[in-house]
Each structure stands twice: as structure tokens, then as C-alpha cells.
Amino acid sequence: MTEYERITESPQALAAFLRGLSVIEAPWDAAFQKRYCAECAATDCDACPNEAYRNNPAWWLAQEATEERGRLE
């Protein structure tokens, strides 16, 4: 099995791999901020009401692909 095959074996395996990358700003961060932070009234992000989706590439991978999300610039 190649590394590619291992990390693309399932959405969960790919999400675990992506979560392990040390990146400052990932595509799933921007999508999360656009969807959840834009209208959030919380004053403390440490108690995020959408914590299950925050810093979660698995959530992002499950989103419907769009032209905007397709670009990794």
C-alpha cells in the first residue's frame, strides 16, 4: 500500500492526515469562519458553540464541492 492509498482509504483517514499538517490557515478554517463565525454572537471563541466543526477537516471534506472551494490558492 502506498502512502497515497493509506491517506485516501476513507474520508476519516484523509481528515486525520490533514489535521496533522501544521498549517496556519487551511481551507476548512476559511469555510468554518464564513459559515459559522460570520453571524456568531459568542464573545468567547474558547467556548465555541460549533466546536465540533472548528479545525475539523472531516467537516470540510463532507461539504458539497463548489467552484470557489475547488481552488486551493
Question: Is 50 exposed, middle or buried (CB count within 10 Å of its CB: 0-12, 13-18, 19+)?
Answer: middle
Domain count, the chain: 1
2-29 pLDDT tens trace: 999 999 999 999 999 998 888 888 888 9
Give the model's pLDDT for residue 50. 92
- Specify whether the backbone of 55 is left (phi greater than 0), alpha (psi in -120 to 50) or beta: left
Domain that holds residue 49: 3-70
pTM for this predicted structure: 0.70
CA distance 50 to 72: 24
Greatest Cα-to-Cα distance within the chain, rounded to the nearest angstrom: 47
25-48 pLDDT tens trace: 888 898 999 999 988 988 888 989
In contact, 31 and 56? CB cutoff 8 Å: no
